[in-house]
Amino acid sequence: MLPLPPMHSKGASLSSRPVAIWLLTGVGMIMVQVVLGGITRLTGSGLSITEWKPLLGAFPPLNDAAWQQAFDQYKQIGQYKLINPHFTLSEFKFIYFWEWLHREWARLMGLVFLVPFVIFIIQKRFKADMIYPLLILFVLGALQGAVGWVMVMSGLNEEDVHVNHIRLAIHFIAALGLLLYVLWFALMILIPASRRKNLPALHKGLLVILVVLVLQLIYGAFMAGLKAATMAPTWPTINGHWLPHGGEPTGGLKWLTDNPFAVHFIHRTLAYLLLILILLWWWKARYIQWVGVLNHFKNALPLLVLTQVLLGILTVLHSPSPKWLLLLGVCHQFVAMLLLVTTVAMLYGFKRARNN
């Protein structure tokens, strides 16, 4: 686990509270970025910008000649030749916009991190043990951008028409890891260790839920990358089968990650398991009183997982419709993030074993 400062204070001091608010702002911006990434994927926009210009790329094409040049570059890759040869310049501008906005929001996050970081250093709001973790946050953010470009590069050729689903999953999970790192940091500032509960059984239960949820999210990224929902827009069966049937490859470890029907089956099964685990955990924890907002998070868990399962079913059933797939798919992804954030916030509500 990446290092975080040991917060032993009785709560957030007046000097550190702006730091916590700044971090929570980062949590919100990362969630928006993930949503924009989902829109980019669902609109097929991820390969529309074929160059990575960290600074100059902040500006879209500013005249007709520049737009035509960007369009001509897009015409060189397989996605255009095999899927979108009918595209007009206007249609290209639509997909370009979403990928540009996704990258632009990432640049804005960098500014929102860097400018207050410098201001807080000048104001001496940071404790000494905060500096190193904050520098790690900056590095993680930069690495996330690099991972995103590597993912895009996997599709910039004449054979592939989409980004590699494994790289898509890595990019997605890395973004969520950054999100949770920032969230945990903020919670350590806002909620004193003395207010955390010492309940080992519920703590272990949340850890199990978190592991299953992360696996579920990974397979959600596989689902998106393989277009698995549109291959089996049925429920409760998968094209009439209760078990995975058909597709390539047919065996080995790749069957678990590359076969769209196997991925679909695993994603659904993990969802059902997650639903059962959260309901059982909530039943055991329903009378526990936490500090402040964490108590509301506890009751939000079952509502979020039920909503997530319902959205997943609706997304699959309506996946043949691009408009419904976009709307429901983005909602499905956003609620998944809320469920993850809520689970980790609840996990923070427990003391570590060494603090018992």
pLDDT at residue 83 in the model: 86
Same domain, 175 and 212: no
Residues 244 and 179 in one domain: no
Is 168 among the domain residues?
yes
- Assigned domain for 232 exists: yes
Cα 106 from chain centre = 14
Whether residue 126 sits in one domain with residue 62:
yes
**Looking at the structure, do residues 121 and 233 belong to the same domain, yes or no?**
no
Q: Given 166, 190, 214, which residue is the final one in a domain?
A: 190
Are both 320 and 206 inside the same structural domain? Answer: yes
pLDDT band at residue 302 using 50, 70 and 90 as cut-offs: very high
Q: Is residue 310 part of a domain?
A: yes
Distance, in Å, from the CA atom of 323 to the CA atom of 259, rounded to the nearest integer, reads 25
Q: Alpha-carbon torsion 201, 207, 213, 219, what sign?
A: negative
Confidence bin at 334 (pLDDT 50/70/90): very high
Whether residue 140 is predicted with pLDDT greater than 80 in this model: the reply is yes
Domain's final residue, options 190, 224, 251: 190
171 pLDDT above the threshold of 60: yes
Mean pLDDT of the chain: 86
Question: Which pLDDT score is estimated for 180?
Answer: 93
pLDDT at residue 9 tops 50: no
pLDDT at 10: 46
Lowest mean pLDDT among 158-167, 306-315, 347-356: 347-356
pLDDT at position 349 over 50: yes
Is the pLDDT reported for residue 328 higher than 90?
yes
**Span 237-266, average pLDDT:** 90
User: What pLDDT shows up at residue 7?
Assistant: 46
Do 13 and 131 fall into the same domain? yes
86 and 207 housed in the same domain: no
Q: Among 161, 190, 219, give the residue marking a domain's end.
A: 190
Q: Please tell me whether the overall predicted TM-score, pTM, comes out greater than 0.85 for this model.
A: yes
Question: Does residue 1 lie in a domain region?
Answer: no
Weakest mean pLDDT among 86-100, 133-147, 206-220, 327-341: 133-147
Local confidence band at 165 (pLDDT 50, 70, 90 cut-offs): confident
Question: Is 237 within a domain?
Answer: yes
At residue 38, does pLDDT exceed 60? yes
User: Do 296 and 265 share a structural domain?
Assistant: yes
The mean pLDDT value for 54-71 works out to: 83
356: pLDDT strictly greater than 50: no
- Identify whether residues 236 and 125 lie together within a single domain: no
Same domain, 205 and 331: yes
Q: What pLDDT is stored for residue 11 in this prediction?
A: 47
Residues 210 and 344 placed together within one structural domain of the fold = yes
Do 253 and 274 sit in the same domain of this protein?
Answer: yes
Is the pLDDT assigned to residue 300 strictly greater than 70?
yes
In a domain, 4, yes or no: no
47 in any annotated domain: yes
Number of domains in the chain: 2
Host domain of residue 207? 196-356
Pairwise pLDDT comparison (352 vs 346), residue with the higher score: 346
- The answer to whether residue 2 sits within a structural domain is no
